[in-house]
Amino acid sequence: MSTETYGAAFAVRWMDGVAAAVEREAGRLTDLDAAIGDADHGANLKRGFAAVAEALAKEPPATPGAVLVTAGGLLIATVGGASGPLYGTLLRRAGKALGEAGEVSRAELADALAAGVAAVGRLGGAVPGDKTMLDALTPAVEALRESFAAARSAAEAGALATVPLRARKGRASYLGERSVGHRDPGATSSVLLFAALEEAAAG
């Protein structure tokens, strides 16, 4: 299993899976965002990933890297909230890191996503512990070196661990102590990304 490789069809399956998960969970994401943000996270991501799924169905790119670059660009263009440039940068940078390869290994995917997560950190200026999507993304890409299942578990644990944190980035940071006790919406949607990745890898 460790020598298994993943191609463009896998990447499209991943993005379709995220689109379906976001569609299913949009209400929950928006409710979480209503508590400490501006109540648009679910609707924004739903719009963005629906555009991604539609574009990939119409004209599927030939490599997994190209799938992620296309998806990232569309998220930046269509989401309309901060999650657009953040997830867009994650996927676009990861896609560029994968280059022209037609098939990639899980280790290569983990390296590419780690580069994407680093770019997200530079873009938003956040670090783990700030109660952002990085609290789920950072442990998830680390654990992806072990397995897809470990990556999903690490994302879930990271998202759950945002509950007692005080937000230090974004609109939630204006709430100060009142942001404590709420689960971060961005970390929660990051779990959907890694759950869909595990499902896509299973075939």
Binding status of residue 96 toward another protein by CB under 8 A: yes
Binding status of residue 30 toward another protein by CB under 8 A: no
Binding mask 107-136 for another protein (x = CB under 8 A): ------------x--xxx------------
Distance between CA 18 and CA 155 in Å, rounded? 14
Residue 126 contacts by C-beta under 8 Å, 6 or more apart in sequence? 132, 134, 168, 169
User: By C-beta, is 125 or 176 nearer to another protein?
Assistant: 125
Enter the tokens of residue 70.
Answer: 């296309």
Residue carrying the six token digits 């901060």 = 82
Residue 54: count of CB within 10 angstroms of its CB: 11
Residue 183 contacts by C-beta under 8 Å, 6 or more apart in sequence? 32, 159, 160, 162, 163
User: What is the distance, to the nearest Å, from the Cα of residue 190 to the centroid of all Cα atoms in its chain?
Assistant: 4
Enter the tokens of residue 122.
Answer: 């530079």
Binding status of residue 82 toward another protein by CB under 8 A: yes
Shortest reach from residue 55's CB to another protein, in Å: 14
Binding status of residue 40 toward another protein by CB under 8 A: yes
User: By C-beta, is 124 or 185 nearer to another protein?
Assistant: 124
Shortest reach from residue 16's CB to another protein, in Å: 23
Distance between CA 137 and CA 194 in Å, rounded? 9
| Segment near another protein (CB under 8 A); pick from 6-14, 91-99, 158-166, 185-193 | 91-99
Shortest reach from residue 79's CB to another protein, in Å: 8
Footprint of another protein (CB under 8 A): 40, 44, 72-73, 76-77, 80-82, 84-86, 88-89, 92-93, 96, 119, 122-124, 170-171
